Amino acid sequence: MHNIIARRNFAAAVAEEAGALALEYFAARDTLVIDQKGAQDWVSEADRNVETFIRQRIMNSFPDDGIYGEEHAEKAGSSGFDWVIDPIDGTTNFVNGIPAWTIVLAGVSDSQTQVGVIFEPNVGETYVAVRGEGATLNGHAMQVASSVELASGTVSIGYSNRVEASKVVPVIAALIERGALYHRNASGALSLAYVAAGRLLGYIEEHMNAWDCLAGQLMIAEAGGEIEDQDADGMIRDGGRVIAGTPAVFETLKMICDDVWNE
């Protein structure tokens, strides 16, 4: 049996340490080496070095755990517990000096996300979730927005160069037709955390990688929201679509996305 609480405490501490390191790079971003992986898809030496820092901490504390990260090759484990890392989610924001990016760690076993941590260094917010134990923001319980209809709230929409842009515009139009506001901040993990904290009503994206979404999806579910049932191991392997929201809007969001993405 994995010690989930020990791993939760470890993940929160490491995310905050990694966030402090990332802030040093953020303050000196004019000197960073930055590469372009694709359209609107950037990676900097900060991403690589922060991930290396997190990996080393994991290997020191839980040497038998597996590690999957955005910037480096996977490390197979033997414990049955895997870590999924996004060292800086929101790199486009990071390299452009926009203070909306996060450190993301998720812990997976038995094809389910067991632990999720999202740390936003610029405002000092630590979001934490443990399966069956609820979700917190800086130690205080989180709850999704209650009984707020689409016409009274905001839904965040993500997209990337992995999907057709033509599949995004109809989704935005459908939300506007229903009176909703839409939002995109270029950090899917942070947007998912905002849903869990009651700041946004939902989040939708046609394809996300596991390191961007597993932690936030767990937070939303543990904060009383709804997410699509997915196999975490499958998400690590292939990624997939993400639809998450409050109970009041989830089915509508799913209907909107099914209408467009299943065409």
Mean pLDDT calculated for residue range 140-155: 95
Position 174 pLDDT exceeds 60: yes
Which pTM does this prediction carry? 0.94
Given this model, what pLDDT does residue 166 score? 82
Position 164 pLDDT exceeds 60: yes
Percent with pLDDT over 70 in the chain: 95
For 99-122, how does the pLDDT look when each residue is reduced to its tens digit (9 = 90+)?
A: 999 999 999 999 999 999 999 999
Mean pLDDT calculated for residue range 229-254: 94
Report CA-CA distances (Å) from 182 to 2, 157, 168, 194, 210: 40, 7, 12, 13, 23
Given this model, what pLDDT does residue 46 score? 85
> Cα–Cα distance between 49 and 127 in angstroms, integer?
23
Mean pLDDT calculated for residue range 124-128: 98
DSSP for 98-167, please give it.
-S--EEEEEEEETTEEEEEEEEETTTTEEEEEETTTEEEETTEE-----S--GGGSEEEEE--TTS-GGG
For 14-54, how does the pLDDT look when each residue is reduced to its tens digit (9 = 90+)?
A: 999 999 999 999 998 888 766 655 444 456 788 889 999 99
Given this model, what pLDDT does residue 130 score? 98
Q: Tell which residue, 234, 205, 200, has the closest CA to residue 220.
A: 200
CA dihedral 107, 75, 243, 222 (to 10 degrees): 0
For 195-229, how does the pLDDT look when each residue is reduced to its tens digit (9 = 90+)?
A: 999 999 999 999 999 999 999 999 999 999 999 98
Mean pLDDT calculated for residue range 60-86: 92
Name the average pLDDT for the chain.
92
Given this model, what pLDDT does residue 37 score? 54
Position 263 pLDDT exceeds 90: no
User: Which residues make Cβ contacts (< 8 Å) with residue 176, sequence separation at least 6?
Assistant: 182
Given this model, what pLDDT does residue 40 score? 46
Percent with pLDDT over 90 in the chain: 78
